[in-house]
Each structure stands twice: as C-alpha cells, then as structure tokens.
Amino acid sequence: MRCFSCNNLSLEPVCKECAKDFLTPDMTIREVGNLEVISFFDYYLIVEFIKSKYITSGYRIYKYIAKRYFNPFIKAYSNSINQTKPIYLIGIDENVDRGYSNIAILTHYTAIKNKKVKELHSVLKAKNSVKYAGKPLDFRLDNPRDFVYSGPKNIDAILIDDTITTGTTIQEASKILKDNGINIHFALTVANVKEGLDY
C-alpha cells in the first residue's frame, strides 16, 4: 500500500511522516446554538484528506481517521461519564457515493470495540440532497436539508460529520433530533472551517 499523501510505501493509508506533518490534531470547540461541536483539524490544513471522499479509495482515509482519532476520543469520553445506558453515534446524512458513505465509515469505526456506544446508520437522512460545498450562508439558509429521523427516540447521542463550515447542517440536524427527544452530548467532526474564512 502507498501513502495517500506522499505516495511512498506505507503499511497505513497515511505514512508516519505525513501523519506527523498533516494529521497532528489541533482540536477546537465551536458553539452552534446550544451544541458544542468538537473538531480535530483545521480544514485548510487537511483539505486533501477531507476531499478524498470524492474518490473511491477515500474510504481508507476516513477509516484511518476514525480509528486513529475519533475512536480513542469517544472511548475516553464514554469511560469518563457515569452513564449506564448506551450513547448512540448518529452520522449526519450517510449518503452512499462512489460505493461508500464517508460518514458511515466514520460512525462505524468510531464505535468499534466500545461496548458503551452503539452506531445507528441511515437514521438521519436529508430529503433535500442539495450540495453546500463552496456555497454562501444565504444559499444554505434558503435551501435547508429537510432532515428526517427514523431511529429510536429518547436516547443519548453524539452527532458525527466530516466538516463544520457555517454550522447550518449540524444545527438543522440537531433540531430534528431534539424534536424526537434525543439528548445530544455534542457533535464530532474531522475538520473545522474557521469562521469568516471560505476555503
């Protein structure tokens, strides 16, 4: 196998040198309404990894990110709180594109080998499949995703997504979940587009 970034031989999808150079977490917390959104990286610094979702082999990158960063974080969090019932991981709009869903990959490998969390797949779907990439806030507000939730009600959950830009998607998703009695602990994203910047 070759490193996604430098193309050198590597046992992992990202070699140790590139992981050190590009995937050293710089965690941020943003407030979206009353919800905390925790991100591991600055979008601009890892844009090539985020955009790997547009190619077939991108599933390897998202699996790597979930196993290396999301999974240990969620494991530490779930062990730190005194809770007997499980926490559910809900991916925001797990649309299958190019044979896989990058959000489903993140959700699955974040939950793996953790008895305190459970994954819920394809329960939060957008009726409007509008693409927001590169679109201004006005466009996003004028074209809501119209999420529909079909999972269990009155549960505890953590939202999973790849990127937070304006926060409109996460805000809309969290509203429909709260309307279904879901207690959202926080949202977790790979990357944060810093407010005021459009990458």
One digit per residue, the tens of pLDDT, for the chain of length 199 reads 899 999 999 999 999 999 999 999 999 999 999 999 999 999 999 999 999 999 998 999 999 999 999 999 999 999 999 889 999 999 999 988 778 999 999 999 999 999 999 999 999 999 877 776 667 777 777 778 899 999 999 999 999 999 999 899 999 999 999 999 999 999 999 999 986 444 3
3 within domain boundaries? no
2 within domain boundaries? no
74 within domain boundaries? yes
What integer pLDDT is reported at residue 131 of this predicted model? 74
Other CB atoms closer than 10 Å to residue 38's CB: what's the count? 17
> Phi/psi of residue 38, each to 5°?
-100, 125
What integer pLDDT is reported at residue 99 of this predicted model? 84
78 within domain boundaries? yes
What integer pLDDT is reported at residue 195 of this predicted model? 64
What integer pLDDT is reported at residue 81 of this predicted model? 93
Structural domain for 174, as ranges? 25-192
3-state class of 147 per DSSP? strand
Domain count, the chain: 1
12 within domain boundaries? no
What integer pLDDT is reported at residue 187 of this predicted model? 98
Query: Rounded distance, CA 186 to CA 176, Å?
Result: 15
* H-state helical runs in 3-119: 16-22, 47-50, 58-65, 71-80, 102-111
pTM: 0.91
Which residue is listed with tokens 């429909």? Answer: 176
CATH assignment at residue 51: 3.40.50
What integer pLDDT is reported at residue 198 of this predicted model? 45
10 within domain boundaries? no
Query: Rounded distance, CA 165 to CA 110, Å?
Result: 22
- List the end-to-end C-alpha distance of the chain, in Å, as a whole number: 30
75 within domain boundaries? yes
